[in-house]
């Protein structure tokens, strides 16, 4: 994560943190779902017939140590093919060359499968680094792909070790649509070292290719094809980290700590929040509200605990600042720009 | 009234109520009335627990409850609209009640020991609700009340093929009740109406494709629950609304009494296996908050039995043979000395002497619960048997125990290897809890052949001086009766357990049956006569403010006072306890430019307190963050800075304001939190922090927040130096390294210059003897500084005075950066700070935690600039006489716990230059311009 230190301008008069948010009250709008609305929502969920072909993603990750006491995953290769491995396309160019924090965002859709091979690239002489793994949330996998230690799974150490890689197989079966974290589960402690940089996300887009968005004060069902950007924002104990993905090209870019997010005015953009670490957070994006998943409400703040995920889509209309208003997180400068350009 | 009569009256009352309520609720066709008789008892390890005596329902069948008292308490299943009458008898020694916060709010009737009483609830709200006691809800008095819909419909599940399936209660093969308490799961299961306790972190068994329901409940501390390889709809009313469910696999529980219920089909889409469930807070994971969901295939012969975890009714000393693996419990508290207090200490203290000592057989577990503290902490192994973390014999994944971040919660760890384990808190490193894992088949309690220490000392024989010195320190630090009282006419007597122990000699053999008391008394003396009190001949200037951090007063539950001493007369002017804010562990102070306001940190709390210096009155009490340790102003700007010891930065408050406006991070984003403790600030505004958690000294530009440098601290030992306090000279910075027993010396840019080893003359390994201390570094002096803490440099930058917890004061001459003198101090020697001496020069004021006097050190009695003749100029009692003004009545531990010190006027370089005229008058020209 960014060797760049967040510039706090500790005593500077230009420091703007005093605008301690008055937006912290949740503005909830209850929207009566009309008959048509109920029907379309229900249909969205029940009619899961894939509109696109199922694909196999063959992915190679390296786990590496980087300066500053961090560890990170690096995308070595990402091939997309049909489920039998035919018609492979190499999409590795979507990702930066080096290791990144957060790790590469794996974008797939309901029905797809993933084969992820992890390579251990730490100093083999350091016993604490004996194991490293990828444990994923949300999607299907059998016990061999849990990414845990034998200490936990009573089966085997599902780790890459200095002399051997490890292959994980995931199935984004129907019902697993959503954005899910992946992270190490085996390094340094019996539950891993996700808090040291070894984390990322899998976006499983729904087979329906639809989502619900807020636009002003209303909920609107839209096709994901109309969503221009995905922002994957991790709420760490003292900073945001993030990846911005151009959905047209799949290109991923990393902005370091508290990155500025960019959007074109009047486009649809999707936020994927994942909390990590030990602290709790309260996310706000002043000037915007969004549909609360599983309900018919619009909300403008969300409390999140470690490893919870939260996805929402908004219509970009104005500049804002995303921020964490919990306890000292705001004082620490947990905030970044949401820049909406004409 | 005797209990039986009371009971019959309650029953009669209940019967009338039952009739009335049934009439009132007649609109509810199926509503039932439940008459439940329960008791509150102690289980074998001393934790309180609820026990079911009887349950009758107007509906007929009731569950098959455990016959014993259980944690969590019996699970109460009712339906919406039912009436629940609880008759509770309190068989514990404390007041106990029965609350269901979701149905009836947060407070209610409490029963005295021996009393019975009646509690009634209407099951108006469908859901899984916490029931419990107001006071002991974290230590055992909690359970689940499950209110289901009349139609039996429960949470829908999502199949492996993505189908959403409605579920009825009758479809459920098993229900699991899992409480997330501290950093431990407390579980129970219900199968066909039969309830079974599964105790701590159990393995939950299920057959493949069984429909099972999880009730996750949490009290107090916040958690996130995660179950591997399963997913479920979040508890929203998505079905009624006709919207998509929110499919999740992790859920926040952050309300004071919170719950989350979901249903899964075991292994659907993922198959069999040991699937871990755990809290997903990193610190809670690191402190053991995990268990397994074991899904088996019946076709392969699996039975789906659950396996209970360590039980409070299992094997613990002295009942160490037979039975299930046991569990002992330490409450983490703010009570001086008893910071880790065994919950059964009242019953075993006769043998253990210390309330912070527990004894278990191999294979039993120790459990910590932060139930009586307002601070954040870690549960960290200070020392452990050398075999315990050997991958071949022990459990290197659990021992040594540690967490990356301080947090709220607790911890649990299974101990397999015999020997001595000592746990501490990294943030408050004088909190100690010790466990002897004793093999019942050997003679004497097993201290183990050798121990490893967190600083990287391995295989230290337990017969060594360092091992027994640490053991003695443990008994002094954790037993209030063992603290020195300078006002007593009796010699200082230290009580030790009257037990035989087995320890390891230098050859690696176990020596059985040594009387512990005799070993410690012969090595460290007994009934020691304390030095007499006397006032310094030359007065000091102004006032000396002292944090008598352990002194207890009648009007508050938390300890700590400020003792204000008049330096002209050496008389106590005032005691300030601030009962109106329950001031909790006042630790360190500073003052504003005109010396009118005292800023006071509360180290086991979250507050910075502003006090009117002249009157001792409370001005403001401000939230600044978890476990604020030290406070200091920036000399030029007067911005108040507070090191947030339990977090990852230093907050700033602008002069004249009370709310923090910024927090300067002490590390890069996402890096391990530094947990700064006792910082200092240069006249130019460089903030220098001792980063206890990252073993370095941080140099930061206060104007930009930029990290200038973070050089390593310590170096005597391989690891864990625990830098804790900063002293600042003219062109040098001194960091005291608590566990490295050293001072790190840097220039102002953070470049390391040297390390001063305070143990150079000490032989830690040999058994205690004449040569334990001798001149080993050839400087002609015998000096030792065990566990150095506060280490200020005098305003002229020429001399460092270090308070060493081990009971000495060391004096370092900064022109050569060597120890030039050592003075005796009290046990728990802790605080040191300089103030002006009348007529010129300075005194160093020194406090000790486990005594009640202030030691006044004159570092240069003859004023010749040579500090080798440093001397104790006075010893002043911190016990107030009846005539001293105070805002609360002193109750116990009078004058003890000496830690932070502030001399007013503040004469340190950088601040003295800004003193207002009224304070300049009492100072000499040299004191006003200390740096020539």
Label residue A8 by pLDDT band (50, 70, 90).
very low
Contact A306 B405 (CB under 8 A): no
3-class DSSP assignment, residue B851: coil
What percentage of chain B reaches a pLDDT higher than 70?
Answer: 97
Closest CA to A133 of A202, A185, A75: A185
Is residue B786 pLDDT above 60, yes or no? yes
Order of all β-strands in the sheet with A297-299: A29-30, A297-299, A290-291
Is the peptide bond between B72 and the residue preceding it cis, with omega within 30 degrees of 0? yes
From the list A153, A171, A305, which residue is nearest B274 (CB)?
A: A153
From the list B247, B286, B706, which residue is nearest A5 (CB)?
A: B706
Query: Within a domain: residue B322?
Result: no
Query: Within a domain: residue B797?
Result: yes
Contact B662 A331 (CB under 8 A): yes
User: What whole-number distance in Å separates Cα of residue B543 and Cα of residue B839?
Assistant: 15
Environment class of B843 (CB within 10 Å of its CB; exposed 0-12, middle 13-18, buried 19+): buried
Closest CA to B482 of B39, B850, B896, B23: B850
Order of all β-strands in the sheet with B432-437: B357-360, B432-437, B419-424, B380-385, B450-453, B457-461
Which of these three, B310, B339, B358, is where a domain ends? Answer: B310
Task: Kindly report, residue by residue over A113-168, the tens digit of the pLDDT.
Answer: 999 999 999 876 766 668 999 999 999 999 999 999 999 999 999 999 988 999 99
Residues B797, B654 share a domain: yes
Q: Which residues of A touch B162 (CB under 8 A)?
A: 48, 110, 173-176
DSSP B826: -
Query: Cβ distance B565 to B544 under 8 Å?
Result: yes
> How many angstroms away from the CA of B305 is the closest CA of chain A?
16
Which of these three, B95, B125, B148, is where a domain ends? Answer: B148
Label residue B459 by pLDDT band (50, 70, 90).
very high
User: What whole-number distance in Å separates Cα of residue B747 and Cα of residue B743?
Assistant: 13
Residues B169, B67 share a domain: no
Q: Give Cα separations from A180 to A135, A167, B714 (angstroms).
A: 11, 19, 42
Is residue B382 pLDDT above 50, yes or no? yes
Q: Domains of chain A by range and CATH?
A: 29-35+209-341 (2.60.40.420), 55-205 (2.60.40.420)
Is residue B1 pLDDT above 70, yes or no? no
Is residue B892 pLDDT above 50, yes or no? yes
Residues B305, B255 share a domain: yes
Contact B248 A142 (CB under 8 A): no
Provide the pLDDT for residue B275: 98
What are the structure tokens assigned to B806, written together? 């081990």
Contacts of B67 (CB under 8 A, 6+ apart): none
Is residue A173 pLDDT above 90, yes or no? yes
Label residue B88 by pLDDT band (50, 70, 90).
very high
Label residue B23 by pLDDT band (50, 70, 90).
very low
Q: Which residues of A touch B247 (CB under 8 A)?
A: 138, 175-178
Q: How high does pLDDT run on average in chain A?
A: 86
Q: Rounded to 5, what percent of chain A is helix, strand, coil?
A: 10, 45, 45
What are the structure tokens assigned to B132, written together? 């419990």
Query: Within a domain: residue B62?
Result: yes
Q: Give Cα separations from B526 to A147, B490, B929 (angstroms).
A: 57, 12, 48
Which of these three, B492, B524, B556, is where a domain ends? Answer: B524
Q: Give Cα separations from B415 to B317, B363, B381, B422 (angstroms).
A: 14, 6, 12, 12
Closest CA to B263 of B147, B157, B375: B157
- Mutation target to probe the B interface, by most B beta carbons within 10 A, among A290, A294, A303 is A294
3-class DSSP assignment, residue B822: strand
> How many angstroms away from the CA of B297 is the closest CA of chain A?
13
User: What whole-number distance in Å separates Cα of residue B383 and Cα of residue B921?
Assistant: 52
Contact A8 B665 (CB under 8 A): yes
Residues B505, B560 share a domain: no
Q: Which residues of B touch A68 (CB under 8 A)?
A: 668, 671
More confident residue, B607 or B12: B607
> How many angstroms away from the CA of B657 is the closest CA of chain A?
12
From the list A10, A48, A176, which residue is nearest B704 (CB)?
A: A10
Contacts of B240 (CB under 8 A, 6+ apart): none
Provide the pLDDT for residue A127: 63
Q: Kindly state the helix (H) or strand (E) to which residue B476 belongs, with its residue range.
A: helix B465-478
Contact B273 A280 (CB under 8 A): no
Provide the pLDDT for residue B322: 81
DSSP letters along B329-398, please? EEEEESSSS-SEEETTHHHHHHHH-STTEEEE-TT-EEEEEEEE-SS-B--EEEEEETTTT-TTTS-TTT
Over range A189-211, report the average pLDDT: 94
Contact B669 A295 (CB under 8 A): no
Label residue B29 by pLDDT band (50, 70, 90).
low
Is residue B133 pLDDT above 60, yes or no? yes
Query: Cβ distance A105 to A203 under 8 Å?
Result: yes
What percentage of chain B reaches a pLDDT higher than 90?
Answer: 93
Q: Which residues of B touch A141 (CB under 8 A)?
A: 229, 270
3-class DSSP assignment, residue A31: coil
CA–chain centroid gap for A17, Å, is 27
Query: Within a domain: residue B531?
Result: no
Provide the pLDDT for residue A31: 29
Q: Which residues of B touch A18 (CB under 8 A)?
A: 661
Closest CA to B57 of B72, B30, B71, B36: B36
CATH code of the domain covering residue B155: 2.60.40.420
Query: Which residue do the tokens 């509150």 mark?
Result: B40
Residues B160, B142 share a domain: no
Contact B254 A7 (CB under 8 A): no
Q: Which residues of A touch B652 (CB under 8 A)?
A: 10-11
How far apart, in Å, do the first and last CA atoms of chain A sit? Answer: 30
What are the structure tokens assigned to B577, written together? 């306890």
Query: Within a domain: residue B196?
Result: yes
User: What whole-number distance in Å separates Cα of residue A336 and Cα of residue A321?
Assistant: 6
Interface A-B: count of C-beta contacts within 8 A = 258
Which chain A residue is nearest to residue B625, measuring alpha carbons?
A328
Q: Residue B150 CB: number of other CB atoms within 10 A?
A: 14
Task: Kindly report, residue by residue over A240-296, the tens digit of the pLDDT.
Answer: 999 999 999 999 999 889 999 999 999 999 999 999 999 999 999 999 999 999 999
Environment class of B248 (CB within 10 Å of its CB; exposed 0-12, middle 13-18, buried 19+): buried
Q: Which residues of B touch A8 (CB under 8 A)?
A: 662-665, 704-705
Is residue A51 pLDDT above 90, yes or no? no
Which chain B residue is nearest to residue A170, measuring alpha carbons?
B270
User: What whole-number distance in Å separates Cα of residue B234 and Cα of residue A293?
Assistant: 9
**ipTM exceeding cut-off 0.95 for this assembly:** no
Half-sphere exposure of residue B340: CA atoms within 13 angstroms, side-chain side = 30
Q: Kindly state the helix (H) or strand (E) to which residue B21 belongs, with its residue range.
A: helix B3-24
Residues B165, B121 share a domain: no
Contact A331 B651 (CB under 8 A): yes
Contact A295 B237 (CB under 8 A): yes
Q: Kindly state the helix (H) or strand (E) to which residue B834 belongs, with its residue range.
A: strand B829-836
Residues B668, B560 share a domain: yes
From the list B243, B649, B703, which residue is nearest A11 (CB)?
A: B703
3-class DSSP assignment, residue B913: helix
Contact A332 B163 (CB under 8 A): no
Residue count of chain B, please give it.
932
DSSP letters along A50-94, please? -SS--EEEEEEEEEEEETTTEEEEEEEEEEEEETTS-S-EE-GGG
Total structural domains within chain B: 4
Lowest mean pLDDT among A23-37, B393-407, B478-492, B627-641: A23-37
Query: Within a domain: residue B315?
Result: no
Contact B231 A138 (CB under 8 A): yes
User: What whole-number distance in Å separates Cα of residue B223 and Cα of residue B182?
Assistant: 9
Query: Within a domain: residue B318?
Result: no
Residues B257, B184 share a domain: yes
From the list B160, B253, B281, which residue is nearest A173 (CB)?
A: B160
Residues B333, B297 share a domain: no
- Mutation target to probe the B interface, by most B beta carbons within 10 A, among A305, A324, A334 is A305
Over range B288-308, report the average pLDDT: 96
List, in sequence order, the alpha helices (H) in B609-747. Answer: none
User: What whole-number distance in Å separates Cα of residue B570 and Cα of residue B573?
Assistant: 9
Which chain B residue is nearest to residue A8, measuring alpha carbons?
B705
Task: Kindly report, residue by residue over B211-244, the tens digit of the pLDDT.
Answer: 999 999 999 999 999 999 999 999 999 999 999 9
Contact B405 A241 (CB under 8 A): no
Provide the pLDDT for residue A32: 31
Q: Which residues of B touch A135 (CB under 8 A)?
A: 228
Q: Which residues of B touch A99 (CB under 8 A)?
A: none
User: What whole-number distance in Å separates Cα of residue B400 and Cα of residue A63?
Assistant: 26
Q: Residue B525 CB: number of other CB atoms within 10 A?
A: 11
User: What whole-number distance in Å separates Cα of residue A23 and Cα of residue A320?
Assistant: 12
CA–chain centroid gap for B643, Å, is 18
Task: Kindly report, residue by residue over B473-517, the tens digit of the pLDDT.
Answer: 999 999 999 999 999 999 999 999 999 999 999 999 999 889 999
Provide the pLDDT for residue B354: 98
DSSP A205: E
Is residue B28 pLDDT above 70, yes or no? no
Q: Residue A121 CB: number of other CB atoms within 10 A?
A: 18
Residues B411, B456 share a domain: yes
Label residue A41 by pLDDT band (50, 70, 90).
very low
Prediction pTM value: 0.93
Residues B693, B605 share a domain: yes
**Residue B779 is part of which domain span?**
544-926
Q: Which residues of B touch A176 (CB under 8 A)?
A: 162, 231, 247
Strand-pairing partners, residue B230, are: none
Q: How high does pLDDT run on average in chain B?
A: 95
Lowest mean pLDDT among A45-54, A201-210, B666-675, B897-906: A45-54
3-class DSSP assignment, residue B110: strand
Task: Kindly report, residue by residue over A300-330, the tens digit of the pLDDT.
Answer: 999 999 999 999 999 999 999 999 999 789 9
Label residue B340 by pLDDT band (50, 70, 90).
very high
Residues B345, B299 share a domain: no
């Amino acid at each position: 994560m960014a060797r760049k230190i967040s510039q706090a301008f500790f005593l500077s008069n230009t420091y703007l943190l005093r605008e301690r948010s008055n937006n912290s009250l949740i503005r909830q709008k209850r929207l009566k779902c009309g008959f048509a609305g109920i029907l379309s929502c229900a249909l969205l969920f029940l009619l899961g017939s894939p509109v696109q072909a199922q694909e196999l993603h063959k992915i190679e990750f390296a786990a590496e140590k980087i300066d500053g006491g961090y560890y990170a995953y690096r995308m070595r290769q990402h091939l997309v093919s049909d489920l039998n491995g035919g018609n492979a396309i190499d999409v590795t160019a979507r990702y930066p060359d080096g290791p990144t924090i957060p790790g590469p965002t794996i974008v797939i859709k309901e029905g797809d499968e993933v084969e992820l091979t992890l390579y251990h690239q730490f100093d083999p002489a350091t016993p604490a680094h004996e194991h490293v793994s990828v444990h994923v949330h949300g999607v299907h996998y059998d016990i061999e792909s849990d990414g845990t230690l034998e200490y936990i799974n009573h089966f085997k150490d599902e780790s890459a070790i200095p002399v051997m890689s490890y292959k994980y197989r995931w199935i984004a079966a129907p019902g697993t649509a959503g954005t899910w974290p992946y992270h190490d589960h085996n390094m340094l402690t019996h539950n891993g070292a996700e808090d040291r940089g070894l984390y990322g996300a899998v976006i499983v887009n729904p087979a329906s290719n639809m989502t619900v968005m807020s636009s002003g004060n209303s909920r609107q069902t839209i096709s994901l094809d109309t969503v221009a950007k995905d922002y994957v924002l991790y709420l760490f104990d003292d900073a945001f980290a993030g990846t911005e993905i151009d959905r047209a090209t799949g290109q991923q870019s990393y902005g370091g700590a508290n990155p500025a997010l960019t959007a074109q005015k009047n486009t649809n953009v999707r936020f994927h929040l994942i909390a990590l670490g030990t602290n709790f957070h309260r996310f706000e994006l002043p000037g915007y509200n969004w549909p609360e998943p599983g309900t018919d409400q619009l909300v403008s703040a969300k409390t999140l605990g470690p490893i919870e995920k939260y996805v929402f889509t908004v219509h970009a209309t104005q500049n804002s600042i995303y921020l964490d208003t919990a306890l000292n997180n705001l004082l620490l400068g947990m905030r970044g720009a949401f820049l909406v350009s004409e | 009234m005797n209990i039986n009569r009371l009971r019959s009256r309650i029953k009669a009352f209940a019967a009338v109520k039952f009739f009335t309520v049934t009439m009132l609720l007649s609109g509810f066709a199926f509503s039932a009335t439940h008459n439940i008789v329960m008791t509150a008892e102690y289980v074998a390890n001393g934790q309180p627990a609820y026990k079911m005596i009887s349950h009758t329902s107007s509906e007929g069948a009731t569950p098959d409850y455990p016959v014993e008292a259980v944690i969590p308490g019996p699970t109460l299943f009712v339906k919406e609209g039912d009436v629940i009458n609880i008759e509770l008898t309190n068989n514990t020694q404390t007041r106990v009640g029965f609350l269901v916060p979701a149905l009836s709010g947060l407070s209610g009737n409490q029963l005295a020991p021996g009393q019975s009483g009646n509690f009634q609830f209407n099951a108006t709200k469908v859901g899984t609700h916490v029931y419990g006691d107001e006071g002991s809800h974290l230590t055992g008095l909690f359970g689940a009340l499950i209110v289901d819909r009349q139609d039996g419909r429960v949470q829908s599940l999502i199949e492996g093929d993505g189908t959403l399936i409605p579920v009825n209660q009758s479809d459920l093969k098993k229900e699991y009740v899992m409480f997330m308490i501290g950093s431990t799961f407390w579980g129970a299961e219900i199968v066909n109406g039969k309830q079974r306790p599964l105790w701590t972190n159990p393995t939950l068994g299920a057959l493949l494709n069984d429909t099972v329901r999880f009730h996750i409940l949490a009290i107090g501390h916040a958690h996130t629950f995660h179950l591997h390889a399963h997913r479920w709809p979040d508890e929203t009313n998505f079905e009624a609304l006709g919207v998509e469910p929110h499919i999740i696999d992790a859920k926040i529980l952050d309300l004071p009494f919170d719950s989350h219920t979901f249903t899964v089909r075991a292994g659907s889409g993922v198959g069999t296996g040991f699937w871990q469930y755990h809290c997903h807070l990193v610190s809670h994971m690191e402190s053991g908050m995990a268990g397994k969901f074991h899904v088996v295939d019946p076709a392969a012969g699996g039975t789906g039995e659950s396996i209970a975890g360590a039980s409070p009714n299992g094997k613990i000393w002295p009942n160490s043979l037979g039975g299930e693996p046991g569990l002992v419990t330490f409450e983490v508290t703010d009570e001086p000395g008893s910071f880790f207090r065994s919950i059964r200490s009242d019953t075993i203290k006769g043998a253990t002497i210390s309330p912070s000592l527990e004894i278990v057989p191999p294979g039993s577990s120790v459990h910590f619960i932060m139930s009586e503290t307002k601070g954040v902490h870690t549960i960290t192994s200070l020392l452990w048997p050398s075999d315990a973390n050997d991958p071949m014999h022990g459990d290197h994944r659990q021992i040594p125990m540690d967490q990356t971040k301080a947090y709220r919660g607790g911890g649990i760890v299974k101990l397999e290897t015999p020997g001595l384990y000592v746990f501490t808190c990294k943030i408050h490193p004088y909190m100690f809890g010790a466990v002897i894992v004793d093999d019942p088949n050997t003679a004497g309690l097993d201290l183990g052949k050798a121990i490893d220490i967190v600083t990287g000392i391995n295989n230290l024989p337990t017969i060594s001086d360092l091992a027994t010195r640490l053991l003695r320190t443990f008994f002094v630090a954790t037993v209030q009766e063992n603290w020195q009282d300078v006002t007593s006419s009796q010699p200082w007597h230290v009580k030790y357990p009257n037990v035989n122990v087995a320890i390891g000699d230098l050859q690696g053999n176990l020596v059985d049956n040594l009387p512990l008391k005799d070993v410690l008394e012969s090595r460290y003396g007994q009934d020691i006569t304390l030095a007499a009190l006397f006032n310094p001949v030359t007065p000091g200037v102004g006032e000396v403010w002292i944090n008598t951090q352990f002194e207890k007063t009648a009007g508050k539950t938390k300890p700590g006072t400020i003792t204000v001493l008049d330096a002209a007369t050496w008389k106590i002017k005032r005691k300030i306890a601030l009962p109106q804010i329950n001031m909790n562990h006042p630790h360190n102070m500073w003052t504003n430019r005109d010396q009118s306001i005292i800023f006071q940190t509360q180290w086991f709390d979250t507050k910075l307190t502003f006090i009117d210096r002249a009157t001792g009155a409370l001005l403001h009490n401000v939230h600044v963050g978890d476990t604020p340790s030290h406070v200091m102003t920036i000399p030029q700007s007067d911005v108040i800075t507070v090191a947030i010891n339990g977090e990852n930065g230093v907050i700033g408050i602008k002069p004249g304001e009370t709310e923090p406006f910024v927090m300067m991070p002490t590390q890069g984003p996402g890096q391990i939190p530094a947990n700064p403790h006792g910082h200092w600030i240069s006249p130019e505004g460089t903030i220098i922090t001792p980063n206890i958690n990252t073993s370095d000294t941080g140099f930061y530009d206060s104007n930009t927040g930029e990290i200038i440098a973070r050089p390593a601290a310590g170096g005597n030992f391989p690891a864990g130096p625990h830098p804790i306090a900063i002293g600042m000279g003219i062109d040098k910075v001194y960091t005291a390294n608590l566990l490295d027993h050293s001072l790190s010396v840097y220039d102002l840019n953070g470049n390391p210059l040297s390390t001063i080893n305070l143990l150079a003359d000490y032989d830690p390994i040999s058994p205690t003897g004449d040569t334990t201390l001798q001149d080993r570094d050839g400087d002609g002096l015998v000096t030792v500084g065990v566990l150095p803490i506060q280490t200020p440099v005098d305003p002229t930058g020429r001399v460092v005075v270090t308070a060493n917890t081990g009971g000495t004061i060391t004096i370092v001459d900064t022109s050569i950066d060597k120890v030039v003198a050592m003075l005796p101090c009290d046990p728990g020697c802790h605080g040191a700070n300089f103030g002006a001496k009348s007529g010129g020069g300075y005194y160093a004021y020194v406090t000790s935690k486990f005594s009640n006097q202030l030691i006044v050190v004159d570092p240069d009695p003859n004023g010749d600039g040579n500090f080798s003749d440093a001397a104790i100029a006075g010893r002043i009692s911190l016990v107030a006489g009846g005539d001293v003004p105070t805002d609360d009545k002193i109750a116990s531990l009078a004058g003890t716990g000496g830690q932070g010190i502030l001399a007013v006027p503040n004469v340190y370089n950088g601040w003295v230059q800004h003193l207002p005229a009224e304070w300049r008058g009492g100072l000499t020209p040299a004191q006003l311009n200390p740096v020539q």
